[in-house]
Amino acid sequence: MKRIFGNAVILAGDELEPTHGYLVVEDGVIVEVGEGSPGRRSYIDLKRGIICPSFTNAHTHVGDACGRDAGAYKSISERVGKGGVKFELLRDEGKVKRGMASALEEMLTSGTLAFADFREGGARGVELLKSVAGASPVDATVLGRPDGDDPAEVLEQCHGFGISSVADYAEKELLELRRLARRRGKLFAVHCAEVNDDTAEVLKLEPDFVVHLTNAGDAGIEEVFHRKIPAVLCPRANGSFAVGLPRIKEILEGTLVALGTDNSMANSLNMLREMEFVFKLARGMSRDYELDAREILKAATLNGRKLLKLESNAIEDGNLASFIIFRNNNYIYDPVLGIVHRFEISDIKGIVKGDTLLGGNGIV
């Protein structure tokens, strides 16, 4: 099957360069990105709509979507720590599964076609998420944890380990989990400095990426940069949990950064809202009016797939067709800025994955 999308502003390549032209998708793959008109070929007229790579939500806990804002005025440990509100909610498997399905629909509606989840509950927890994700077009990278089960059996069923906190394990156990993931060629990721600065302990494990860095000190951040360890930032969730805010601009400049919405109890899964918060917070905290919105859009789209070792969805020949079509707005001077801090879900006119048109609000 071949589709041609014409009369569009295309955010092309790894640098998301605006290109006025057309895009050809054949058998689910981008085969041509061209400037100007596609000629006499029949095409879908996007009326100068904007084509952007789909979002990648690089850190979630979608199992908690069944308890949105539960325990909102409790501390982070009371809400999501061992024995907290979260783990009371997770006992009801039926409710958890329905919440997960709702979370995946929320992601799809807002333009996310890939996500990574730190999944609790051992092998059974992984199985629950896979059973829901298998019916969705949103691709799931499931990072489990043993939680009393045989680590090797858990790892067999998922894409790697997602460690809650180094404080929850003995160092020997963590090192063994790391060795196991490395032997199997799977991901090993860790929450890092979300509440306390445990960066030094986390880096001993040589993680594939870290999540948060909210309270990381100078030495820890410099070591992350020195080792080129990618980071996933989740500032809206950090703010919601009242644990502080990461040094966004500094981290963006020091390593590969992706964005995540984190815990569904505390935060929506809407990456449009995440980008706007991150962009304005970073500029406000750094007082740097030159901070480029393009870096935020990369963090929400391309970088997450790099970090998760997924196929690129940059809009260029030979890549997977995985993109969002936003409506035209004649008054927006910069399409990247428009997406990062102005557009809403209602501005999404189409979502494309491979050969499939997944919805939106009517442009295709």
For residue 227, give Cα distances in angstroms to 66, 189, 202, 208, 209: 38, 15, 13, 11, 11
Residue 139, pLDDT > 70, answer: yes
CB 211 within 8 A of CB 246: no
Sheet-wide strand order for 55-61:
257-259, 231-233, 209-212, 187-192, 160-163, 139-144, 112-118, 55-61, 262-263
pLDDT in tens, 275-297: 999 999 999 999 999 999 999 99
Share of the chain above pLDDT 90, in %: 92
pLDDT of residue 256: 98
Crossing angle of the two packed helices 271-286 and 293-300, in degrees rounded to 10: 140
Distance in angstroms (rounded) separating the CA atoms of residues 301 and 171: 34
Cβ atoms within 10 Å, residue 178: 19
pLDDT of residue 53: 98
Which one of 3.40.50.300, 1.10.3720.10, 2.30.40.10, 1.20.1740.10 gives the CATH number of domain 2-54+313-357?
2.30.40.10
CB 330 within 8 A of CB 353: no
Residue 363, pLDDT > 70, answer: no
Nearest to 131 by CA among 115, 123, 264, 308: 123
| pLDDT (mean) for 227-241 | 97
Distance in angstroms (rounded) separating the CA atoms of residues 321 and 341: 24
Token pair, residue 30, equals 């981008």
CB-hemisphere CA count at 13 Å for 168? 17
Residue 364, pLDDT > 70, answer: no
Task: Return phi, psi of residue 221, to 5°.
Answer: -65, -40
Cβ atoms within 10 Å, residue 179: 12
Q: Is the domain covering 55-307 a CATH 3.20.20.140 domain?
A: yes
CB 178 within 8 A of CB 160: no
Distance in angstroms (rounded) separating the CA atoms of residues 262 and 327: 28
Share of the chain above pLDDT 70, in %: 99
| pLDDT (mean) for 270-274 | 98
pLDDT of residue 82: 84
Residue 360, pLDDT > 80, answer: no
Residue 40, pLDDT > 80, answer: yes
Q: Residues near 287 by Cβ (< 8 Å), separated by ≥ 6?
A: none
pLDDT in tens, 43-79: 999 999 999 999 999 999 999 999 999 999 999 999 9
| pLDDT (mean) for 286-309 | 98
Whole-number average pLDDT of the chain? 95
Find the range with the poorest average confidence among 178-192, 317-331, 350-364. Answer: 350-364
Residue 251, pLDDT > 80, answer: yes
Residue 361, pLDDT > 70, answer: no
Residue 331, pLDDT > 60, answer: yes
CB 210 within 8 A of CB 189: yes
pLDDT in tens, 198-220: 999 999 999 999 999 999 999 99
Q: Where along the chain do its domains lie?
A: 2-54+313-357, 55-307
Q: Residue 329 — very low, low, confident or very high, per pLDDT cuts 50/70/90?
A: confident
| pLDDT (mean) for 81-106 | 92
pLDDT of residue 152: 97
For residue 36, give Cα distances in angstroms to 16, 29, 100, 307: 17, 21, 42, 34
| pLDDT (mean) for 140-146 | 97
pLDDT of residue 113: 98
